Amino acid sequence: MISTVIDQSLNLEFPIFQGGMAWVADAYLAAGVSNAGGLGLIAAMNSNGEQLRAEIRKCKELTDKPFGVNVMLASPYADEAAQVVIDEGIKIITTGAGNPGKYMEKWTEAGIKVIPVVASVALARKMEKSGAYAVIAEGGESGGHVGDLTTMALVPQVVDAVSIPVIAAGGICDGRQIAAAFMLGAVGVQVGTRFLVAKECTIAQEYKDRVLKAKDIDTVVTGKRLGHPVRSIRNAFTREYLKKEYNEAEYSNEELEKLGTGTVRLAVRGGDVSNGTVLAGQVAAMVKKEQTAREMIEEMFEQAEEVLNGATKWVK
């Protein structure tokens, strides 16, 4: 059995979080992962306050296990979400795509364990100072909004810089990668891409099929010019976008912003995987089959245990 300070203190069966995937992570996925012994999270990104409240209440009906909310700081609804999580008695919050500094005091005062996603040592240090319970160090292998550093480089640097628990994210979808994350000093992992094809995940089947047939080099990063790089699966949309992104003379930043607007929803909920943004990490190619969240988590941790138990074979 693999058990760390993270599953023990958050009352989980396994030290694994589900990524707070925008438009994807609804009450059904969050409850599915929580019922499977991990930490499910509802993404607040795409919901206004009232929609988020309804999603939280639905999740409470679907599970009696701990679950959390991911507040995407660049969301237009971040302020509303920040209050709703308190009103609804949410105990665990993860954040993404920014510095949650302005909410830290009221969240920690409400007894919430705040676990920000960080892509740098500097932000990890800042978060520890402002009362974060743990940090998720997310490497640029991940899907969605990405930082510059890889998981391999980032995780040990964050582990050395802070004394709070570190959870590794980015490029993790099987037991070997979980074992590796532990070797880097992490005490838990966050997985996004693999849960896209969970039976409990309600996204369009076309999106799941695109992930299932992805090859190793199928993801690309768009949006660097705008200062918010995003990793997704290469398609007609990313080809068109990249052409315009590298043609600064003819296409303004405003035009680029507009081009991307609504495209995640189009892929996730509309199933248009050609003209929409199919957010996924570099491990998409390793995701081979649809399973329940429990099957995924048990398989991952069985393999991690096997790998960790065998690790001494190299030590003479």
**Binding test (CB under 6 A) with ligand TUI, winner from 230, 283, 297, 300:** 230
Which one-letter amino acid corresponds to residue 92? I
With binding defined as CB under 6 A, does residue 123 bind ligand TUI? Answer: yes
**Binding test (CB under 6 A) with ligand TUI, winner from 32, 68, 147, 281:** 147
Site string for ligand TUI, 54-93 (x = CB under 6 A): ------------------x---------------------
Query: Distances from the Cα of 36 to the Cαs of 9, 30, 53, 141, 223, in angstroms?
Result: 17, 10, 23, 25, 35
Stretch that binds ligand TUI, among 10-18, 143-151, 195-203, 207-215 (CB under 6 A): 143-151
Of the two residues 144 and 171, which places its CB atom closer to ligand TUI in the complex? Answer: 144
Neighbouring-strand partners of residue 41 = 68
**Binding test (CB under 6 A) with ligand TUI, winner from 97, 135, 162, 214:** 97
Polymer length in residues for the chain: 316
Report CA 56 to chain centroid distance, whole Å: 18
Of the two residues 179 and 278, which places its CB atom closer to ligand TUI in the complex? Answer: 278
CB of 222 to ligand TUI, least distance (A): 9
Which one-letter amino acid corresponds to residue 69? V
**Binding test (CB under 6 A) with ligand TUI, winner from 16, 41, 44, 117:** 117
C-alpha 126/C-alpha 23 separation (Å) is 29
CB of 51 to ligand TUI, least distance (A): 16
Q: What secondary structure, in 3-state letters, does 156-208 show?
A: HHHHHHCCCCEEEECCCCCHHHHHHHHHCCCCEEEECHHHHHECCCCCCHHHH
Shortest CA distance to 206 belongs to which of 291, 287, 272? 272
C-alpha 65/C-alpha 37 separation (Å) is 8
Stretch that binds ligand TUI, among 116-124, 182-190, 240-248, 300-308 (CB under 6 A): 116-124
With binding defined as CB under 6 A, does residue 281 bind ligand TUI? Answer: no
With binding defined as CB under 6 A, does residue 127 bind ligand TUI? Answer: no
**Which residues in this chain contact ligand TUI in the complex, by CB under 6 A?**
22, 45, 72, 96-99, 117-119, 123, 138, 144-147, 230, 264, 279
